[in-house]
Amino acid sequence: MDKVFAGGRLKRLRQDRGMSQVDLARVLAISASYLNQIEHDSRPLTVSVLVRLTEVFGIDATFFAPQDSARQLAELREALPNRPGGSPVPAADLQELAGSMPEVAEAVIALYRKHRGLAEHLETLTDSRTASPTDGSPHELVRDYFYRHQNYFDGLDRAAEASAKELGTRRGEVRRRLRDHLSETHGIRIAQRSLDDPADTNDLHHYARAERTLYFSSHLQAGQQAFRMATQLAFLEAQPQIDELLDTEPWPDDKTRQLARIGLANHFAGAFILPYTPFFQAAERFRYDVELLADHFGVSYETIAHRLSTLQRPSLRGVPFIFVRVDRAGNISKRQSATSFHFSRSGGTCPLWNVYESFAAPGRVITQVAEMPDGQRYLWVARALTRSRGGYGQPAKTFAIGLGCEVRQAGRLVYADGLNLEDRGSAMPIGPGCRTCERPRCPQRAAPPIGRPLNVDEDRSTFVPYPLSVPERHS
């Protein structure tokens, strides 16, 4: 067993329970001085102490597992680019802050986000004279909420699985069973709009409460219709579980809370359409082959990819994935993660990332082993998809779906076959975004890094677009 240092978490847990060091030491059958050393990370947690802690507090041992703070480190680097003298905050200091005081780190990040949002709002007002900020802060808050829960809500997921089992849903029959259940139990009628209906050009779905009718666009496929019906079922039958989850968070306004409510209802819907246990078993059997799973369950590639990013049930964990949906301009319209992988919120994403390569080969799966500046390596699987309303000359939406996992988990995926996962030299060096990336010699850099002075020399040009000054060494 690797040494586990979790003094900060143990101290907060003890204080939350109103216990002194002497009280807890007595319960654990150790000395108060020994407990004090554990809380200050002078000594690691032993197996015997860890077992007693799980018994005393009724928690899972994974509570004390080392926390991967890569996301916090990346955001702290963005929030704290320089010290008063102009030099960057040392990575070791950021690491200590994120590891020892994660709540303080989150508070610093929250202040920076507020500052950035106000700055962008002011920029928008002065440039375009509009009154609305460009930062989608409600969406960012909801994304962070899902991130903190590792994109998995155990009680809600289990409730959806139990509901699907009670209704007796089977592959190929989910949509029919949902339609019948909504009609028989809730008196809700399902109707599909015609192609010549003006409303069909705007709404993918619309629930008319007064009519108790759920309208679907003619462009929605069968799997999408089933998902919308399952979402409606969540609002009708899983509201207590959703409200309980929402009440644990201090939402800044009703709009943000409502957005989170929709996100949780969508989580329920995904878990109903693809119940955890049979989906996990199929994912393991097919080695996470997204296309095979899509054919097996009769849903879209995107639906399968999104559900794979939620398989974090403690007793039945799947591969921890990052799920993203990106357009050609680099805008991330969906971002869910069961890992600490982090892309910058400002300055665009990395152009060396393979999701952009997938646009040149729509429909084909592109794989990439990528290495972040901190040395962490990921296997990325990307595929470009196109959606159209149908009909000649109608505009279409093209975007890329990306799934990533740490290389240490990649052996469970069919996409790792034939790749040399141990060869660090073959990994593509990517970063969180040009403004926060620490790779000064990257030829694809689109912007200089925050807090690093440029080396402007009229007598020299360089292959690197933004050459940086070498910081002075102080004795």
Q: What is the CATH number of the domain that holds 201?
A: 1.10.10
What residues does 429 pair with on adjacent strands? 371
**pLDDT tens-digit series, residues 75-131:** 777 777 665 555 667 777 777 777 667 778 878 888 887 777 676 556 544 543 333
The reported pLDDT for the residue numbered 394 is 66
Residues 336 and 238 in one domain: no
Residues 106 and 181 in one domain: no
Q: Tell whether the model's pLDDT for residue 363 goes beyond 60.
A: yes
**pLDDT tens-digit series, residues 389-405:** 666 666 678 899 999 99
Q: What average pLDDT does the structure give for the chain?
A: 83
Identify the domain containing residue 204 by its residue range: 154-273
Residues 60 and 95 in one domain: no
Residues 254 and 170 in one domain: yes
User: Is the CA virtual torsion 160, 162, 168, 169 positive or negative?
Assistant: positive
356 inside domain: yes
294 inside domain: no
Q: Tell whether the model's pLDDT for residue 16 goes beyond 90.
A: no
Report which of residues 355 and 387 the model is more confident about: 355
Report which of residues 60 and 438 the model is more confident about: 438
**pLDDT tens-digit series, residues 42-60:** 888 888 888 888 877 777 6
Report which of residues 458 and 377 the model is more confident about: 377
Residues 45 and 94 in one domain: no
| Structural domains in the chain (count) | 4
Residues 425 and 333 in one domain: yes
Which of 66, 62, 245 lies closest to 145, judged by CA?
Answer: 245
Question: What is the distance between the terminal CA atoms of the chain, rounded to a whole angstrom?
Answer: 41
138 inside domain: no
Mean pLDDT, residues 314-318:
87
The reported pLDDT for the residue numbered 389 is 63
User: Is the CA virtual torsion 162, 163, 169, 170 positive or negative?
Assistant: negative
The reported pLDDT for the residue numbered 401 is 95
284 inside domain: no
397 inside domain: yes
Tokens describing residue 102: 């994660």
- We report the CATH number of the domain holding residue 375 as 3.30.450
The reported pLDDT for the residue numbered 475 is 39
Mean pLDDT, residues 416-438:
85
Place 1 in a pLDDT band, splitting at 50, 70 and 90.
very low
Residues 369 and 334 in one domain: yes
Residues 54 and 108 in one domain: no
DSSP-based three-state secondary structure for 124: helix
- We report the CATH number of the domain holding residue 26 as 1.10.260.40
169 inside domain: yes
443 inside domain: no
The reported pLDDT for the residue numbered 270 is 95
348 inside domain: yes
The reported pLDDT for the residue numbered 474 is 44
Residues 201 and 266 in one domain: yes
* Ranges 220-234, 335-349, 453-467, most confident: 220-234
Task: Round to whole Å and give the CA distance between 276 and 382.
Answer: 24
Residues 344 and 410 in one domain: yes
Q: Tell whether the model's pLDDT for residue 239 goes beyond 70.
A: yes
Residues 339 and 417 in one domain: yes
- Helix pair angle (91-100, 7-16), 10° resolution: 30
Cα angle 397, 298, 415 (rounded to 5 degrees) comes to 75
Give the distance from CA 88 to its chain's centroid: 28
The reported pLDDT for the residue numbered 373 is 83
Residues 122 and 158 in one domain: no
